[in-house]
Amino acid sequence: MKKVLIINGAQRFGHSGGLYNTTITENTVQVLKDFGNVDLKVTHVDEGYDHDEEVQKFVWADYIIYHTPIWWFQLPNGLKKYIDEVFTAGHAKGIYLNDGRSSAQPDINYGTGGMLGGRKYLVTTSWNAPSTAFTLPGEFFNETNVDDGPLFGFHRMNAFVSMEKLESFHFYDVEKNAAVERDMQRYREHLRSVFEKEFSGVSVPLTQVREKNECL
């Protein structure tokens, strides 16, 4: 049985009610349940958490899925606090042992002391910015994508604790031009594609299997 920890970083603050990333989380739960033989745990950061229990969830999981809005080009303060507190609580308790260096060779091997080897993670982000802000010459992000730009530090954080990155998914223009059903459908297709490979390695997509069964 595959074990998946889903972290919903939605936060009620200012004009944000946190509903968009909660909807993403609900879609993730449904897609993964459709696979069967998957054990799920979900943390809603804004509802509170126990540091030590969260450490144990990371140690327990085979996969971690983060859902987060982006505020002022960074993680929201609640999710950042969660990571700071939980990862710190996980020192020598399953998340990381040290920074990987030795006193004999302090200049090399930084970032190799993680304890979550063998686990993989996936992140989704939601943006007010349109996708073209990242791709068009002369636009705001200088043709730098989300993963190589705003999320660079986030990905190195996960690498520091020895987790492997799965393909991210980003939602754009969600305030002025949201198309929730369209974007959720695209996301569900992405998630199925990623985890069909991870869970079973089957060559026939589960969507096709369902369609075949419905015709029987």
Q: pLDDT tens digits for 55-94? A: 999 999 999 999 999 999 999 999 999 999 999 999 999 9
Percentage of the chain surpassing pLDDT 70?
93
- Predicted TM-score (pTM) of the model is 0.91
**CA 144/CA 43 separation, integer angstroms:** 31
CB atoms within 10 A of CB 145: 14
Q: Domain count of the chain?
A: 1
Residue 131: which domain range? Answer: 2-215
pLDDT, mean of residues 176-200: 95
Residue 14 has a pLDDT of: 74
pLDDT digits (tens, 9 = 90+) for 144-159: 999 999 999 999 999 9
Lowest mean per-residue pLDDT among 13-22, 31-40, 153-162: 13-22
Backbone angles phi, psi at 8, to 5 degrees: -95, 110
Cβ atoms of residues 151 and 168 within 8 Å = yes
Q: What is the mean pLDDT of the chain?
A: 92
Reply yes or no on whether the pLDDT at 210 is more than 90: no
pLDDT digits (tens, 9 = 90+) for 94-138: 999 999 999 999 999 999 999 999 999 999 999 999 999 999 999
Lowest mean per-residue pLDDT among 1-10, 36-45, 195-204: 195-204
Burial 149-183 (b: 16+ CB within 10 A, else e): ebbeebbeebebbbbeebebbbbbbbeeeeeeeeb
DSSP structure class, residue 4 = E
Given phi > 0 = left and psi -120 to 50 = alpha, else beta, which region is 36? Answer: left
pLDDT, mean of residues 183-203: 89
Residue 201 has a pLDDT of: 55
pLDDT band of 1, cuts 50, 70, 90:
very high
CATH number at residue 40: 3.40.50.360
Q: What is the dihedral of CA 201, 205, 211, 213, to 10 degrees?
A: -10
The half-sphere exposure of 6 on its side-chain side, counting CA atoms within 13 A, is 25
Residue 59 has a pLDDT of: 98
